Structure formats: C-alpha cells, structure tokens
Amino acid sequence: MMAESEEMVWSDIGLKSPEPLKAQFNREVGKIVTARTGTEVDFKRPDIVAVCNIDEDSVEVEINPVFIYGRYRKFLRGIPQTRWHCRECRGKGCPRCNFTGKMYETSVEELIGARVVEEFQAEDAILHGAGREDIDARMLGTGRPFVLEVMHPLRQGISLEYLEEEVNRHADGKVAVTFDHLSNKREVETIKSGKAHKKYSILVEVDGEFSVNDIKSSLNTLKGAQISQRTPERVSHRRADKIRKRYVIDVELVDVVDGKYVIEVVGDAGLYIKELISGDNKRTTPSLTECLGAPARVAALDVINVEGVVPEKKTEQMEDKENGTSQRPEKEDQV
C-alpha cells in the first residue's frame, strides 16, 4: 500500500527520478546500526539481514550461515562421514538404534561440528565433502576437502586457528582437521560438483598361489584401462542401474605383507575401488579378479590423497536425479 501511495504522489507532482521511501529508510537505519555497532555493511555477504516490517511495526533478523573450508583426515575405521539416521525410525529413536536415532555412534561431521557449534553458539553444522570414503576406510594423507556450513551462528569472528585446535582436541585422535579460510555457498557447489583423482592404498587378499610377477602383470593390464562398472550390488538399491566408465590412472604393487598384497591405485572420481578388485560378479570389468582368473577382495582400504577439486557440469548424483533416483548418499559409496 505504501509503495502504491508514493507512486501516486510521484505521478501527481511529476517527479522524474524519485527515490523510493524504502531506499531512504534502509539508508537511515543503516546509519544508525553502523553508529551503534561500529560495523560496516557488506552487501555481497552480510552476516545478518534485518527485515523491517513497517506495517506491523516488527523486525525479523535473519542470520546467514558461516562457511569454513578445510580438509579432514579420519584415522579410525567404522566412522561414516555424515550423520546416518536409523533406517527403522528415521532418527526418532527405536530399539534397533538403542534409541539414539542413529546407525552409528558418531561421524566425521559430528566430531568436527560439535565444538564449532559450541563456539559459534549455532544451531547445527553440516559437512559438505568432496566425495566420501567408505565407513570401513580411513582418510589419510593430506585429507579430504570439505566445507563446513555453520547454521544460525549467534557469534562471529572466531579465529580459525583457535577453532582448529579445539576441534582436534575434541576429536581425540579419531579425526583431525585443518581449516584454511572462510568460504561461501558457491564453494560448496564447487566442491560437491567437482571431479578429482583419488589415490588409494589397498590391502588385497587373493585365493590361490601367485607370484609377485603374476600380480604385477595383472596390475599392468589395469593400468590406464577404461573400467566398465555396472552399479555395484551393494548400492544398487539406491543408485540408478546403469554402466559407468571410469579410468585407472595408475596402479602398482608396493609390498607383500603376510601373504596379502599392498596395492596403490590412482583413479577417476567415482571409480568403485572394491569392485575394481573383486569384479562384483562380473559387474565391473576388467578387474583384478578377472585378470588373475582367481577371486580377489579388499581386506583393508585407505584413501591417501584427494587432489584439488575440479568443477564439472554433471556429477553422478546429478545423473541419478535426472533418472529420478536421487537420495542423500549413504555411507557405503566409494567415490
């Protein structure tokens, strides 16, 4: 109503370039807030937005999230990247989950987010990772890139160095982080849609007697090969059933320990590593099992390097969304 009224006034008196009352109101309020708080407005990335409703004589304050870019390392197996609600109760609590609402006691997201939420006096902290490792895999090396989104923070300006120390102390050796810089929503989109090569260290069991040369010869067949992977059986209930093409950039045998082979693999993002070894009942080809002519399987898996994230127009999650099968990824996807 007020906007309509002022437009009528402009028309009646013939104003050509009038300034709306809203602009003048915002400027005057801004002056008062600046004078009282000693802060300056940031139009591109404001921490707080105050919405003034003159008709109702009310003010609604919107607190924007804080985004923090960093890398995490996970030293223990059996910890998912993000909170995993109980499949039975969907987080409400039931006998299956011992009334915790969760499938697992904790997660990387919770171990990092707990102290951050306390320091910022926030509602929650959500971890956006550059892919995710399996629950039973460790994340070593320089760590996995992530952006932590801190929801509705009542405090601002906390030192990232101090925050890093507090998170690492609280995580108690299970997880370690390095915080690099304050981020933004755009970097979240980049990190979620990016593609980066990953390097793995795999402890492999093979049925039968094979020489080191036999293993090396089979690995040479895989080196540089394009791998055809039908959606693995272990994730087929939530992934579109289709064949994906990925490349093995490099692979080598680095050690033999108690009859098991330590193999390092560098592969495309989205390459299912366990299936590269096992063949997944011929759903992945070629595989180490196929090359050897004998069953092979992963006994232990570590991610030892995740390269810088390179944005790509379409991710596997986007492809699944287009096929109507998109869900929040569960914790057994090797990407």
Catalytic positions, written as ranges: 134
| Distance from C-alpha of 88 to C-alpha of 190, rounded to nearest angstrom | 33
Largest CA distance in the chain: 97
| Distance from C-alpha of 130 to C-alpha of 57, rounded to nearest angstrom | 45
Q: Which strand (E) or helix (H) includes residue 151?
A: strand 137-151
- Torsional class of 293: left (φ above 0), alpha (ψ -120 to 50), beta (otherwise): left
Q: Strand 58-63 to strand 284-285: parallel, antiparallel, or no bridges (unpaired)?
A: unpaired
User: Tokens at residue 274, please?
Assistant: 């366990």
User: Can you state the angle between helices 160-171 and 108-120, rounded to 10 degrees?
Assistant: 130
User: What's the per-residue H, E or C state across 248-269?
Assistant: EEEEEEEEEECCEEEEEEEECC
User: Tokens at residue 211, please?
Assistant: 């020489």
What distances in angstroms separate CA 319 from CA 18, 129, 303, 331, one per listed residue?
50, 18, 25, 19
Q: Which strand (E) or helix (H) includes residue 275?
A: helix 273-278
| Distance from C-alpha of 196 to C-alpha of 60, rounded to nearest angstrom | 42
| Distance from C-alpha of 157 to C-alpha of 126, rounded to nearest angstrom | 19
| Distance from C-alpha of 298 to C-alpha of 304, rounded to nearest angstrom | 16
